[in-house]
Amino acid sequence: MQSLTAALSPGAYTDVSADEAHLSIAGLTKQFGDFTALKQIDLTIQEGEFVCFLGPSGCGKTTLLRAIAGLAPQTEGTIVQRGRDVSALPPQARDFGIVFQSYALFPNLTVYDNVAYGLRNQRQDRQQIRARVDALLALVDLTGSERKYPAALSGGQQQRVALSRALATEPGLLLLDEPLSALDARVRVHLRSQIKALQQRLGVTTIMVTHDQEEALTMADRIVVMNQGGIEQVGTPAEIYQHPASEFVATFVGSMNLLDVTSESMGVWRLGHQQLECPNHVSKGISGRARLAVRPEAVTLSQRQEGLQAEVANIEFLGAFLRVHLHLEGCVQPLLADISARDAQCVELSLHQRVSVFFPDEAMRLYPAGGGAA
């Protein structure tokens, strides 16, 4: 591992402290005419981090990536990379390698020449170039494909060449713009782990744009969840999944039940025709109308006659678990419970059966009605 890194990089990724900020973005705004695509983005990315920009189509992920690259300069705000203000620099004066969704390899150049392209532009000597290209192609399991042309490669192979080409000049920052979305599911999952392993091996600071939550959860050290040109939450995958800061994040990442509730008295909420106890640390001063969020896998069912009462409306077999569709008494919103096949046997579930529903305190989150943050 060490020798591969050495062949690629005489210290490019090893002599910088992991505590240092690689990128500091402040007050970044991007206008397209009257339309504001990015609104006052503030974000710091540490040296060696793998960060995913995650959000629905049109939320501004690619615009932010392109601003960082200098391909679509911001209207306002600053970008500082390793202490250097790059805000006004053209792309060629910035320090990054980029991989696009559509591979974007030179079709008339072989795999070897595609990867060597940037190194030749830097006028490196031939032996040095050969050593670097060989090491890069070995890293992405493409040794032996040097003489092939892009058209003779599969989508996944082309994307691995694109990755090698982006890393060839040892950029400080690797930018990946939906690199996996054009590939079929099986190749995508395989390449996902290859990219992650490569990134960890080299320690190169990486930003990947994706609208695929599973991709972000499995690959990122930290996820930046974006919505309508702004940042909703920045956190580790576990933080984002377990403590979503807003109703938007709660529903965008993973499956989530959202139920309308109204406060009745201290710690007591009305849910349909029923009452639900919810500790004060969950409600955090929210009163009146609110939305209660609970993950399906956190819902437990029993035959007891206490707690919330519900009727089983449907049971779906999903292999590792059962997805139970429930109708809570007096509540219009459906409730989903994901339970293991073994737990389902204990409760002896059947259609139209009445069951008791329980939400553990730590699994409940309340958001103000109207989509605000908790």
Eight-state DSSP code of residue 296? G
* Residue 258 burial (C-beta neighbours within 10 Å; 0-12, 13-18, 19+): middle
Stretch that binds ligand ATP, among 55-63, 141-149, 163-171, 200-208 (CB under 6 A): 55-63
Q: Which amino acid is at 118?
A: G
- Could you tell me the two tokens for 317? 């077999």
Residues in the chain, total:
374
Lay out the site mask for ligand ATP across 284-303 (x = CB under 6 A, - = otherwise). Answer: --------------------
For tokens 């996944």, the residue is 156
- Identity of the residue, 85 or 214, whose beta carbon is nearer to ligand ATP in the bound complex: 214
Give the 3-state secondary structure of residue 297: helix
The single residue among 55, 156, 171, 272 that binds ligand ATP, judged by CB under 6 A, is: 55
Q: Is 31 in the site for ligand ATP (CB under 6 A)?
A: no
Q: Is 234 in the site for ligand ATP (CB under 6 A)?
A: no
Closest to 226 in 3D by CA, of 20, 21, 25: 25
For the CB of residue 32, give the shortest distance to ligand ATP in the complex, in Å: 3
Lay out the site mask for ligand ATP across 205-224 (x = CB under 6 A, - = otherwise). Answer: ------x-------------
Stretch that binds ligand ATP, among 31-39, 44-52, 92-100, 316-324 (CB under 6 A): 31-39
- Identity of the residue, 65 or 168, whose beta carbon is nearer to ligand ATP in the bound complex: 65
The residue count for binding ligand ATP (CB under 6 A) is 12
The single residue among 22, 41, 48, 62 that binds ligand ATP, judged by CB under 6 A, is: 62
For the CB of residue 349, give the shortest distance to ligand ATP in the complex, in Å: 39
- Identity of the residue, 20 or 214, whose beta carbon is nearer to ligand ATP in the bound complex: 214
Query: DSSP string of 58-119?
Result: TSSHHHHHHHHHTSS--SEEEEEETTEE-TT--GGGS-EEEE-TT----TTS-HHHHHHHHH
- Identity of the residue, 173 or 224, whose beta carbon is nearer to ligand ATP in the bound complex: 224
Q: Are 53 and 64 in contact (CB under 8 A)?
A: yes
For the CB of residue 211, give the shortest distance to ligand ATP in the complex, in Å: 5
Q: Is 203 in the site for ligand ATP (CB under 6 A)?
A: no
* Residue 173 burial (C-beta neighbours within 10 Å; 0-12, 13-18, 19+): buried
The single residue among 59, 137, 207, 276 that binds ligand ATP, judged by CB under 6 A, is: 59
- Identity of the residue, 145 or 210, whose beta carbon is nearer to ligand ATP in the bound complex: 210
* Residue 283 burial (C-beta neighbours within 10 Å; 0-12, 13-18, 19+): buried
Stretch that binds ligand ATP, among 50-58, 126-134, 245-253, 276-284 (CB under 6 A): 50-58
Q: Is 235 in the site for ligand ATP (CB under 6 A)?
A: no
- Identity of the residue, 211 or 365, whose beta carbon is nearer to ligand ATP in the bound complex: 211
Distance in angstroms (rounded) separating the CA atoms of residues 334 and 50:
37
For the CB of residue 54, give the shortest distance to ligand ATP in the complex, in Å: 9
Instruction: Return left, alpha or beta for 228; rule: phi > 0 is left, psi -120 to 50 is alpha, else beta.
Output: left
Distance in angstroms (rounded) separating the CA atoms of residues 127 and 10:
15
Eight-state DSSP code of residue 161? H
Q: Is 32 in the site for ligand ATP (CB under 6 A)?
A: yes
The single residue among 13, 47, 52, 60 that binds ligand ATP, judged by CB under 6 A, is: 60
The helix or strand, by DSSP H or E, that contains position 38, with its residue range, turns out to be strand 35-46
For tokens 């609208």, the residue is 211
Angle at 291 between CA 286 and CA 293, to 5 degrees: 110
Q: Which positions touch ligand ATP (CB under 6 A)?
A: 32, 35, 37, 55, 57-63, 211
